[in-house]
Structure 1
Amino acid sequence: MENIQTMITDVLGPFGPLMIVGLLGIFLILITLPVLLKKEVDPLDKIKAAGGATKADRSKDKKLRSATNKDKLEKYSNFLEPQNADEYSAVKLKLVQAGYRSNNAVRIYHFLQFAMGIFGLLCGGAYSIVQMSGTAEVTTQQLVMWIMIPGAVGYVLPKYWVTRRQQMRQEALENAFPDSLDMMLVCVEAGQSLDQSIIRVARELKSGFPELAEEFEVVSQEAKAGKDKNTVLKDMSDRCGVPDIASFVTVLVQSSQFGTSIADALRVYSSEMRDKRVMRAEEKANKLPTKMTLATMMLTVPPLMAMLIGPSIYAIITSLG
């Protein structure tokens, strides 16, 4: 044992045994995790759960997740998915707003977080082993940072990606919405109904604004399936997550409830959306000089100072030398 410990210390440094034990622990966790997840439930626990659960709880659990025969991650659903319905709904809504509409999106999202976190830990462990095998001394703090930082980055990376996709998609919907309102107003004033105008707008916008066209197609399909129009519009507002679309849905719902003209409501609201788009463009233009100030100072002042003060400094150094 002493010879083995001496050999490990010579190869990996003074923290070699600790590294071997840590990697062995991670390997054992990865091996035993599928076994623990496949553990059969006690029949008595099944009876208690069946007796204590109400019909509302069972219907809520049925709506919480949908299983398919092709889903290989179904047996790990209790580990990969939130067990709270509110948390599950929040994650699912965020993924839908980012453009991921599949039934297993929540499960795949948490699986990617777990897998990339483990991958980052393994990469950090391999990097630390390479560094410890060198001649430089490695402190415990550096060792922990080399292992934990890649794992944390791998775990956070899917969340950052989804958040970024959500922001980009909402921005695209926000930019395309005023043009869609103008086109919808033309269709309604030409004599088409609201459902027909939505279908026509979705077909016309598919080449330029595919995100908004996809939302309008979902609205038209749900309306054809017999779903209530107000519910369909409110679902669209939730899927988009854009305040302008939420206000537009409120205008349409109120117009249908009070019996006012949809064309008049669309005319007023489309004019407001055009003004709002111009205001957003002006706001970005006004922010540009402030953002350019720092870059201008960093790129202009140092060369200017070098040209103005450089000859004087050179003359002083020459005379003193």
Structure 2
Amino acid sequence: MFEIFNSPLGLIALTGVGGTLLLVLAVMVMMAGGRADPMKRFSEQANSKEKHSAPEAAKLRRKVGREFKSLEKYARFLEPENENELSDARQKMIRAGYLSKTAVRDFAALQFILAITGMIASLLLVFVIAPDSFDTPVMMAVALITPMIIGYFGPRRWLERRVEARKEEILSGFPDALDMMLICVEAGQSLDQSIRRVSKEIEFAYPALGEELTAVGEQVKAGRERSEVLRDMAKRCDVTDITSFVGVMVQASTYGTSITDALRVFAAEMRDKRIMRAEEKANTLPTKMTLGTMMFTVPPLLIILVGPSVIGIMSDLAGGGLATGM
């Protein structure tokens, strides 16, 4: 069972894997040892600047202690050091619906853990469980590398699909939200009140859109500028219709035009666009169904129509051959 360990290829594979594990462990130990203690740094900063009183400093220390979890010591290893890359990664996690400050770090840790788990599982499969099933070096290399690649890139693909699904959900529910918002504004409510009301009504059918509208209503209620909050929502959603809506609302507020008229025109346009998208999907159905029709309809039809004739011809040929032989 362990004959493969005696071969040169097995020794090379074990040496490479062992060296990789030792290198990863060494880097993690260096990261953990070289990074200053966050609590110690916070204590020194508080003592030098004397910005907070004793109760406030204790409260902040408790807050920081809760925030820095076990992954904080590996933050430099798990998070990009470039601010632009870190900002893009956080924005992508927000668009997927993960609003936590540690979402980027947790996602990188998940990728790392799944890749290591896949590598360990492939090593066990190749060298312990079924070593006789991998005869060639190509099969062995594929069995060793494939689980690690799937474990690392699988979560990234899943995150991209989640972002696209969330965008599709927001795009599907936005026309209905605009119609309800228009009804609320025409009934005498302000735009901020209508946004908060619509967020409660639509969160059951479209949770992602309801979450975004709820965030807008709460931030405006807390005192932030409405135009700034709407721009942040457009940046989080990354949907063209949301960006256009924000532009219309900001323009109406800047130039003092009627918000009701702007909402009425924009809501009608969004309804037309939704109908056009539905028609576009309906028009692509015949093309998509052609291949399925050819694969699952034509062969059975040919068997039904041509099968009896083929059987009859074969029977006649067999009978003729027998008569000739006699």
TM-score (norm: length of structure 2): 0.82
Q: Which letter does structure 2 place at the counterpart of 1:113?
A: Q
- Between the aligned partners of 1:249 and 1:113, the Cα distance in structure 2 is 36
Give the RMSD, CA atoms, in angstroms: 2.3
Q: CA deviation at 1:164?
A: 1.1
Contact 2:181 2:198 (8 Å CA) reproduced:
yes
**Corresponding residue for residue 43 of structure 2:** none
Taking the aligned partners of 2:129 and 2:264, their CA distance within structure 1 comes to 67
In structure 1, the residue matched to 2:103 is 105
**Equivalent-residue separation in structure 1 for 2:213 and 2:134 (angstroms):** 62
Amino acid in structure 2 at the alignment position of 1:103? K
Cα distance in 1 for residues equivalent to 2:134 and 2:106: 41
Picking from 150, 163, 170, the partner of 1:153 is 150
Report what 1:117 is aligned to: 115
Classify the secondary structure of the residue corresponding to 1:38: helix
Is the alpha carbon distance of 1:190 and 1:167 closer, same or farther for their aligned partners in structure 2, counting shifts above 3 Å? same
Report if aligned partners of 2:78, 2:109 keep a CA contact under 8 Å in 1: yes
Q: Is the 2:125–2:131 contact (alpha carbons within 8 Å) kept by the matching residues of 1?
A: no
Return the match for 1:75 from 57, 66, 73: 73
1:3-22 alignment, distance < 5 Å:
8-9=2-3, 15-22=9-16
SS at match of 1:39: helix
Residue type matched to 1:83 in 2?
A: E
Which residue among 68, 82, 86 is the counterpart of 1:88? Answer: 86
Equivalent residues of 1:181, 1:270 under 8 A apart? yes
Report the counterpart of residue 180 of structure 2 in structure 1: 183
Deviation of 1:252 (Å):
0.2
Within a 5 Å distance, the mapping from 1:189-208 to structure 2 comes to 189-208=186-205
User: Does the 8 A contact of 1:98 with 1:169 survive in 2?
Assistant: yes
Question: 1:215 Cα deviation (Å)?
Answer: 0.8
Counterpart position of 2:232: 235
Structure 1 residues 185, 10: closer, same or farther in 2, change over 3 A?
A: closer
Deviation for aligned residue 1:92? 1.0
Q: Which amino acid aligns with 1:28?
A: L
Give the counterpart of 1:299 among 296, 300, 319. Answer: 296
- CA distance, structure 1, for counterparts of residue 134 and residue 109 of structure 2: 37
Is 2:254 the partner of 1:260?
Answer: no
Aligned CA distance change for structure 1 residues 282 and 41 (closer, same or farther; 3 Å): closer
| Counterpart-to-counterpart distance in 2, 1:315 and 1:128 | 54
Aligned residues: 291
Residue segments in structure 1 that go unaligned for 5+ positions in a row: 1-6, 43-65
Report how far residue 80 of structure 1 moved: 0.4
1:102 is matched by which residue type in structure 2? S
Structure 2 residue 156 is matched with structure 1 residue 162: no
TM-score by length of 1: 0.83
* Whole-angstrom distance in 1 between the partners of 2:282 and 2:81: 46
Instruction: Note closer, same or farther for the CA distance 1:215–1:137 as it changes in structure 2 (3 Å cut).
Output: closer
Q: Deviations over 1:9-49 (max 9, x none)?
A: 2677674333433443344235434212223269xxxxxxx
Q: Distance in 1 between matches of 2:8 and 2:305?
A: 55
SS at 1:138 equivalent: coil
Q: Quick one: percent identity of the two aligned structures?
A: 46
